Chains A and B, each alone.
Chain A
Amino acid sequence: MARKGEEELSKVNIFIMGKRYEIPEGYTIMRAFEYAGYRLIRGCGCRAGACGACAVVYRTVGDYRLKSGLACQTPVEEGMNLTQVPFFPAQKAVYDLNRIADPVAEFYRLYPELSRCLGCNVCTKICPQGLDVMYYIAAAQRKDLALTTELSFDCLLCGLCAARCPAEISQFNVAMYARRVYGKELAKKYSYARRRADEIRRGVYNDEVRRLREMDRQSLKELYDRRDIVKAKY
């Protein structure tokens, strides 16, 4: 959606892969790409900061540090020199959760490189979500699934941690495994859905739902208007 008069807005200079473009101030990096004429295919996803498709790395004038962000969430700034990282190869273990007898013990078999962590913290520094990646890797090393889950829960799997890791760990995939094992253990202990699902498999509700299915609109409307509503709690 091109805006009217965007040519007249005040501009900053940014460098996309080293090439200078003048971009309206306040634009996100994603809109800067499009303003400059890049038709994004790779490196563009939900455009709302929820999917991790648009990771970028950049440096700014006079600062040695490498910075990162999501292109759809990060405003441009004068002198920014950037590139997209739409894909980075990562190690992903292949497994069948139903066949793993002791999933916690499997951690080091699936991801033996986990023990190579140097504690350098570059993963935490680069994470555009601001996650404490090194800490969740430490939690994973201790096989603390609950903590790994909690610390990694906002992970968008953009892959920047794995791109930077000198120990060559694919952190986000390690956390993925930890969360799934944790979720499955919780489900084993207390599945709420299972009880209702069993009833449904036994056909307990078939007749009553079929009756509704065959009901005319007026009768449905009467039932609907009469139903009691529990007070909504958020």
Chain B
Amino acid sequence: MSYPENLRDSIDRVKASRQARLGAEFPRLTPEEKTALLAAFHPDYRAESKRELRVGPNRGERVPQELADLLEGKSWIDPDRFRLDRVDYETDVLVVGGGGAGCTAALLAREHGARVMLATKLRLGDSNTIMAEGGIAAATEPEDSPMLHYLDTVGGGRYENVPELVEALVLDAPLVVEWLENLGVVFDRRPDGSILTHAPGGHCRRRSHSCKDLTGLEIMRVLRDEVRNKDIEIMEFCAAVELLLDENGNCAGAVLYNFDNQEYLLVRAGAVILTTGGMGRLHINKFPTSNHYGATADGLVVAYRAGAPLLYVDAVQYHPTGVAWPDQMLGYLITEALRAHGAHLVNARGERFINELETRDAVASAIIRECREGRGVRTPTGTEGVWLDTPMIDLIGGQGKMARQFTGICKRFERYGIDVSSDPILVYPTQHYQNGGVKHDPQGKTAIPGLFVAGEVGGGVHGRNRLGANSLVDIFVFGRRAGAAAALYARDGRSGKLTLEHVRRFHRELQKAGIREPVTSPLLIPDYLGAGHKARQHV
């Protein structure tokens, strides 16, 4: 399945204009042009894409519609009928989520002497972590420093980052790389044995540590292996559908839903750490996503319902170059490095339309503009995109450069009969990251005593825009901190009466706000069932 015939015409136009484009400089946007472009085409600026929350701690703030629906949702359980006197499991620390942050938090809590249970909606390790290609940022090189890492992070985040969190991030980052090395993660190394680093966009030094283009996979499988080496109870295919509080308002456990046998399990815990990741699979603004199947904002929903405030959840990161064809790879991330190596962005007519090294938000907006104004390429399945002219990489860097440097990308397209060193890649922006999340302190503590967060579900460290390679380090820095802090917190052994009063209260608030037919949330699993199937269900 190579490119279908009706795309070939436009590929020919890209080829035809290639020589003329080579070496030509496309002008940068002026600040005014950029502001206008973003306002007209960036999804975050679309007024109708957001609405005010009518209930909960962030009432009155505007968030994406798809998220608002879930935050204003009702519980899977009826708090008046759910029995809290039959506890199924007791533990010191309950970790919800089995990705990079969750496994890290579980390991550290165990190391600090806590009994630990890790519950995850899918398999242990299923997460955005496992998909991370690029690397993990830490100022380990002699010419680098935590101060420079600090500056880059806040500059990228538009100076809205929570300073204490950035401080924790940059000072812990080298400790995290050392920790991962000692766990046996095989990092890329130079011939002299030292770790090979590179500088992703927005970083002023080489500080990203990688494991080929499979960094997340390598780290995730090591952590998963280590969790299984320790005495940690793992509950796979068990989603947290509600938090439990005690009568004093401390978080005291969670209600898990076991997908395999449809049971609700009551877990009493001294502390809970949410590490449930982001919201890519809500398809904000109907965008495809580079995210994992499980990225449905479940942690945001249960924390919000229990009264934890959120921060910057209106700031969504769209990566400009997600795959638009073949359909099987829709939303799959194509690294910025291709543009840095000279690949142009070209519309259906074979024309450039933006300087490829503008910021992510500007490039994404320009691609959307081309498509909306009829200069995009329409595929047989109805999606649209523009061309990323990858054959230029060999043209500039010499024959074979593409295959050598971007083996992973080449291999993936080969499966569909596409040779990306001779044909361009069709791209469209893809929803990539949730910049905000549950508000927390440097130990992962939220506004609710006993409730901790780590990783993408937390918000503040990245401000309104995260830099590349800063998410992999975020999950380990705050995973470690939350794991240790939760273990210490749980040691004090509070034993108040379990309650779901917060759910009852939230349901009353929904009613008072006139929300008559709330959806049931958290979402847990996205709905991708075929339309024909649904019609045959007659419901």
Contacts and interface: CB of A to CB of B under 8 A. Distances in A.
Given A34-B528, A227-B148, A97 B183 contact: yes
Interface string A194-234: 11110011000110111011100100110110011110111
A38 B178 CA distance: 43
B265 interface: no
A221 B221 contact: no
Tier of interface size on chain A: 35 or more
A212 B382 CA distance: 49
A50 B213 CA distance: 11
A97 B184 contact: yes
Nearest to B292: A46
Interface in A152-199: 153-157, 176, 179-184, 186-187, 189-197
B155 interface: yes
B194 interface: yes
A214 B177 CA distance: 26
B151 A3 contact: no
Interface residues of B, number: 93
Interface stretch (B101-109, B124-132, B431-439): B124-132
Contact of A184 (B175, B182, B341, B532): B182
A27 to B, nearest CB: 8
Contacts of A97: 183-184
Contacts of B446: none
B228 A92 contact: yes
Contacts of B123: 45, 53
A182 B222 CA distance: 12
Given A94-B229, A197-B175, A212-B151, A53 B126 contact: yes
Contacts of A17: none
Interface stretch (B137-145, B268-276, B310-318, B501-509): B137-145
A140 B415 CA distance: 30
Contact of A176 (B154, B177, B221, B405): B221
A206 to B, nearest CB: 7
Interface in B185-237: 185-187, 189, 192-195, 198-201, 204-206, 212, 214, 216-218, 221-222, 225, 228-229, 237
A153 to B, nearest CB: 7
A74 B269 CA distance: 42
A220 B341 contact: no
A131 interface: no
Contacts of B222: 176, 179-180, 183
Given A46-B293, A205-B146, A2 B531 contact: yes
A209 B169 CA distance: 11
Contacts of A206: 171
Contacts of A220: 151, 154-155, 159
A1 B175 CA distance: 41
Given A183-B184, A192-B195, A230 B130 contact: no
Interface stretch (B38-46, B240-248, B325-333): B325-333
A194 B177 CA distance: 8
Given A191-B178, A214-B163, A75 B1 contact: yes
Given A45-B123, A206-B171, A232-B340, A183 B186 contact: yes
A230 B193 contact: no
Contact of B171 (A2, A187, A205): A205
A108 interface: no
Interface in B408-452: 412, 415-416
28 contacts: A3-B382, A4-B382, A28-B328, A35-B532, A45-B122, A45-B123, A50-B131, A51-B217, A53-B122, A53-B123, A75-B1, A149-B186, A156-B217, A182-B186, A183-B183, A186-B193, A190-B189, A193-B140, A196-B138, A205-B145, A212-B151, A213-B167, A220-B151, A220-B155, A227-B148, A227-B151, A232-B199, A234-B198
Interface of A: 1-7, 26, 28, 31, 34-37, 39-42, 44-51, 53, 72-73, 75, 92, 94-97, 149, 153-157, 176, 179-184, 186-187, 189-197, 200-201, 205-206, 208-210, 212-214, 217, 220-221, 223-224, 227-230, 232-234
